[in-house]
Amino acid sequence: MLKRGAALTAAIATAGLSANAWAQELLGQPTPGAIDLQPGASPLRHQQEFFHNVILLPIITIIVLFVLGLLLYVMVRFNRKANPVPAKWSHNTPIEVLWTVVPVLILMFISIFSFKLLYAFHDMPPPDVTVKATGNQWYWTYAYPDLKIGEYTSTLTPEDKAPPHLFRLAADNPMVVPVDKVVRVQVTGADVIHAFAMPAFGVKIDAVPGKTNQTWFKAEKIGIYYGQCSELCGVDHAFMPIQINVVSQADFDSWVKSKTGGAAAASSAPAASSTAAPAASSAPAASSAPAAH
């Protein structure tokens, strides 16, 4: 039995390590069989992970275990056999005060971190790149007004041209941004309400017709990141993926030149020498390829 237990423990540990390694390889996209949050690649995302894993999850676990224990105690101690003559009272002032005050204190504690996170989303640093993302039935269009890049269409990569695990995630003309730069995303809708969502960056915001919302992110690693429209927007809602290619500053400048013929090269983000790219091994498999033109 001891040997079997040790073998089982070793197998579980090995599976856990393998799952962690697999999750790292799939940064920027869903991991089959995973139960944790998708690995993050931006400062805001890391704050979200802290809020979830360090603040919310322990509080939820403690409350659930406490309530479970209380229910089990009541079921055993006050069932018909153990307590044939029930008490006649129906109120207990100290307990009622306690179960009112304690939840209020818990919510106040949670609100401190919640407001801090909300403020971080709204307190956007000076942007290096501005992208306008427009949701349509059923595709996205992107434009870079500061770089004189006009609106272009990004649609679903056909099933026969996309890797099986990236079908309905890969797009033919992705958004392209430089690594380690603040990217402001102005989001709107052309017809119905859509939602621009990129899990690895912690971004999710509605695209509302007639209104422009904005959010921001700062990608920490070169790679290809995938998201989807997260608002039910019609029959082909599942067919409007979001793909963001995070590239080095030099590659971004080259992409801008290819889109503008060099007209906006001088107005793009700072020189490549100030943004050394992370090691390619830390990015998804296809991260070294520049974006489709």
What is the reported pLDDT for 6? 45
pLDDT score recorded for residue 10: 45
- Return the pLDDT at 273: 36
- Position 22 pLDDT exceeds 70: no
pLDDT in tens, 226-281: 999 999 999 999 999 999 999 999 999 999 999 988 655 444 444 333 333 333 33
Q: 129-282 adopts what CATH topology?
A: Immunoglobulin-like (2.60.40)
CATH class of 43-122: mainly alpha
Domain boundaries, the chain: 43-122, 129-282
Q: State residue 263's pLDDT score.
A: 57
Tens digit of each residue's pLDDT (9 = 90 or more) over 110-158? 999 999 999 999 999 999 999 999 999 999 999 999 999 999 999 999 9
**pTM score of the predicted model:** 0.76
45, burial (CB in 10 Å: exposed 0-12, middle 13-18, buried 19+): buried
pLDDT of residue 261: 81
- Mean pLDDT over the full length of the chain: 85
pLDDT at position 36 is 85
SS (H, E, C) the chain: CHHHHHHHHHHHHHHHHHHHHHHHHCCCCCCCCCCCCCCCCCHHHHHHHHHHHHHHHHHHHHHHHHHHHHHHHHHHHCCCCCCCCCCCCCCCHHHHHHHHHHHHHHHHHHHHHHHHHHHHHHCCCCCCEEEEEEEECCEEEEEEHHHCEEEEEECECCCCCCCHHHCCCCECCCEEEECCCCEEEEEEECCCCEEEEEHHHCEEEEECECCCEEEEECCCCCEEEEEECCCCCCCCHHHCEEEEEEECHHHHHHHHHHHHCCCCHHHCCCCHHHCCCCCHHHCCCCCCCCCCC
Tens digit of each residue's pLDDT (9 = 90 or more) over 186-210: 999 999 999 999 999 999 999 999 9
Helix axes 93-122, 57-77, angle to 10 degrees: 160
Average pLDDT over residues 20-36: 73
pLDDT tens readout for residues 61-70? 999 999 999 9
Please say whether the beta carbons of 234 and 137 come within 8 A. yes
> pLDDT tens digit string along 48-59?
999 999 999 999
Q: What is the pLDDT of residue 200?
A: 95
Phi, psi of 169 (to 5 degrees): -120, -40
Higher pLDDT, 289 or 86: 86
The answer to whether the beta carbons of residues 240 and 229 sit under 8 Å apart is yes
Residue 98 has a pLDDT of 93
Structure tokens at 59: 């509080």
Nearest to 269 by CA among 186, 149, 187, 182: 182
Percent of the chain, pLDDT > 90?
Answer: 69
